[in-house]
Amino acid sequence: LHLTDARIYSHFRRQDVLVVNIGINEYASNDCPDLRKAVADADLFVEFLQKRLGVVDANIVSLRNREASRNASLSSLQWLETGRIDYTSSVTKIFYFAGHADVRGPVTGTTELLCPGDEGRVQGIEFCRIRDMVRKIVDHGDNIYTHLADGPFNQIVILDCCWSGELLGGSIRGHGRFPRFLKDISSSFQGSYVLLTSSGRDERAIDGLFTRNLLEALDSNLDNLTYISLMHRLKMPEQQTPHCEGSGIQWRLFSHQGPAADESLTLTMRKGDDTFVLQAGSAHGHTIGTRFTAHLTNLKPTPTRPNPAVCILVIKSTDIFSSVLDTARNSDRARLPPLFYLKRVSSKAIRLYIERSHQTWLESVFPVSTQDDLPMMLVNDVQSCDLGLVVSGAQVQFKLHIRLMKTKYKDSGISSTVNGDTVERMTEYILFGLPDTVDVSNVEGIRRVIKAAGHFLHHLAHSSTSTIHRGVKMELHKLAPKLGAGSSSQFLEPSSGNLINEEHAELEVDGEVQFGVTIRNDGPLMLYPYLFYFDPNDLTIQPWYLPPIGVSGTETTRADSPLPPGSPGLAIGYDVAQHTWRFVIPEGRDTDIGFFRLFLSTRPAYFETIQQESPFEVGATRGTSRVLPKAPKAEWSVQTVTIDQKRTYVSKHTEYLSSFLSH
């Protein structure tokens, strides 16, 4: 493998990185057969760091073969946890391992282990030790140096070994700018972590395969790559599936500058000259005729690095999780590469209500030139609208009309929401006054709010006839420190029973209690959960959980299921280096409302495009082969939970239903 020299990577500060690099071919025990390419892979990775990123020798600890003993490896992890360049800069910390892993555990149960050079004479290094390192580094970057550091600590873990997918536990992937409702306690400085593994949790890794393919994918313009698009570029054989997850996968590679990926952009593949396949379909609300703009990267545009549309594409056929498109009339397809990204621009017409005296003004906000991408229709009564507008002086106020389908079951109790028999479905209507306003002269701002409201309402109401959600139970818990673990946020566990009762939870909120979610699957299918919180106050849709990204062969839709049948439960918000959350009621209010939606699918399904920032904030800117399992029937389903909140000093809960003219 030849690594090309390239211009300095502008989003990487070479002096602010610490690296532990371990490669082991030769083992002390005959129980661990020697490898041939692990040391060479580790050397190539160091060469990449030095040649492409300019990392200095003094910041790299390299251990090879038997010098990579258990003690030496643990000492290097300790150095990585506590090491820093100085007190005034962000630090990127990289742990790379190429060698054997094992699933031989201690007497009590099975534990995944990294095999050090003296494996056989000593115990291996448990995967949980790596996870603990990630927790500590993220906590250090967010909490310890908040008054001293210019930015966060970022942790990247790369494992090239068998069973490495077991390292993954679950991630929060989002825009990183949801300031009001769900406060991310651990991320005041937005420290990030990325876990990149060479294989799934049940897969062997072929000696010498993953690292070299990874470096080939990296041999490009790094300024245009996030960890997400890196996975899209990675080419692997079908018998091995690298995985990637973490709070930092939207960031540019090795960067300190925060999320750069635009999650509204969806991967699209060019197959031949005339066929373009979008990795999203009817489950995402796309239909024949839906229009998209095509972009060469998945990056948010900036003044210095725009990401312009190169052409327009239109859906000509759709499936559950994919769509086939063609270029629009007079749109040039010549610039479209094998992989690119699409952003939806057309939407269903939103129904608007405004007093007759202001209807002419509203029609001027929507000239004919905007109708293709943002269609609207005026209705004559409040109850028929999706969004009401009130012009008050120089400001425009917005009233969101929420329709919720509620299910009643024969059985009572918490479990009835998934196991009971449906006897009635009813619609609940909520007219919700948004607290923010827009200046009446700010036409672009008004359109932005209306488009965001349409997106919010569509995905809040979008449903499926599939019943794959039966047997799946979502639980919401208060969290507290584990006994004997002190007050550190990385050692939390549920301290309450399930707060959700029949698709509803009523919470007393003081702004301090931390919350987490557990999802259990008692059904027969391997499922992929996508959990979002819908906040009507600012129209944000915030991800609480998104599954890891996997890539195998030419597919980016393979990954280990985070929710296999009979699993003990997927912990969200209190596992690995996940952030914990708390509910915050806006000032001036005693009650609030929001909605969890749990989307479930039988394969990875790119539901992350659902998430949305607030429109009121501009700029929210190694090995044998395996038998491949038969692809399951493509299905998706969704559950909704309403979250009513009241301050702890409010003696009686009041419904948060405002009249149309209330402020």
Tell me the pLDDT band of 425, cut-offs 50, 70 and 90: low
* pLDDT of 423: 44
Cβ atoms within 10 Å of 447's Cβ, excluding its own: 18
Please tell me the predicted confidence (pLDDT) of residue 45.
98
340-357, pLDDT tens digit by residue? 999 999 888 899 999 999
Give strand ranges (E) for 7-133: 17-23, 60-64, 91-98, 101-102, 113-114, 125-126
Question: What is 301-349 written as a DSSP string?
Answer: P-SSS-----EEEEEEEE-SS-EEEEEPTT---TT--SEEEEEE---PP
**Cβ-based burial of 624 (10 A; exposed 0-12, middle 13-18, buried ≥19):** exposed
Report DSSP letters for 362-414, one per residue.
HHHHS-GGGTTTS-EEE-SSGGG-SEEEEEETTEEEEEEEEEEEEEEESS-ST
Share above pLDDT 90 across residues of the chain, in percent, rounded to a whole number:
45
Query: Has domain 17-245 been given CATH number 3.40.50.1460?
Result: yes
The predicted structure's pLDDT at residue 513: 86
Closest by CA position to 606, among listed 493, 492, 528, 502 = 528
pLDDT category of residue 233 using cuts at 50, 70 and 90: very high
- For the stretch 361-406, pLDDT in tens is 998 888 877 777 788 899 998 889 999 999 999 999 999 999 876 6
* Domain edges within the chain: 17-245, 265-344, 350-460, 468-647
> For position 15, what pLDDT does the model report?
57
According to the model, what pLDDT value does residue 653 have?
Answer: 34
pLDDT for 159: 95
Residue 33 DSSP one-character state:
P
pTM for the predicted model, two decimal places: 0.84
Q: Is the pLDDT of residue 147 over 50?
A: no
Q: How do residues 588-644 score in pLDDT, each as one tens digit?
A: 888 889 999 999 999 999 899 999 999 997 543 333 233 334 556 778 888 888 888
Whole-angstrom distance, CA of residue 299 vs CA of residue 255 = 14
Q: Which of 347, 353, 235, 345 is nearest to 293 (CA)?
A: 345
Q: Using 50, 70 and 90 to split pLDDT, how confident is the model at 169?
A: low
Sign of the CA dihedral with 47 first, then 51, 54, and 56 last: positive
Fold of 265-344: Thrombin, subunit H (2.40.10)
Q: Name which residue leads in pLDDT, 552 or 44.
A: 44
Q: Is the pLDDT of residue 269 over 60?
A: yes
Calpha distance 73→20 (Å, rounded): 9
**What tokens does 226 get?**
């996030």
Confidence of residue 480 (pLDDT cuts 50, 70, 90): confident
Indicate if the pLDDT at residue 188 is higher than 90: no
Whether pLDDT at 553 is above 80: no
Structure tokens at 49: 């760091």
- Looking at residue 623, its pLDDT comes to 30
**How many angstroms separate the Cα of 625 from the Cα of each of 162, 236, 637?**
12, 13, 33
Report the distance separating Cα 157 and Cα 242, nearest Å.
13
Look at 298-302, 582-586, 623-627, 659-663 and tell me which has the smallest mean pLDDT: 623-627
Closest by CA to 569, choosing from 479, 472, 469, is 472
Mean pLDDT of all residues in 235-253: 90
Do 495 and 553 form a contact (C-beta atoms < 8 A)? no
Q: pLDDT digits over 505-546, tens only?
A: 999 888 788 898 999 999 999 999 999 999 999 999 999 899
Indicate if 265-344 has the same CATH topology as 17-245: no
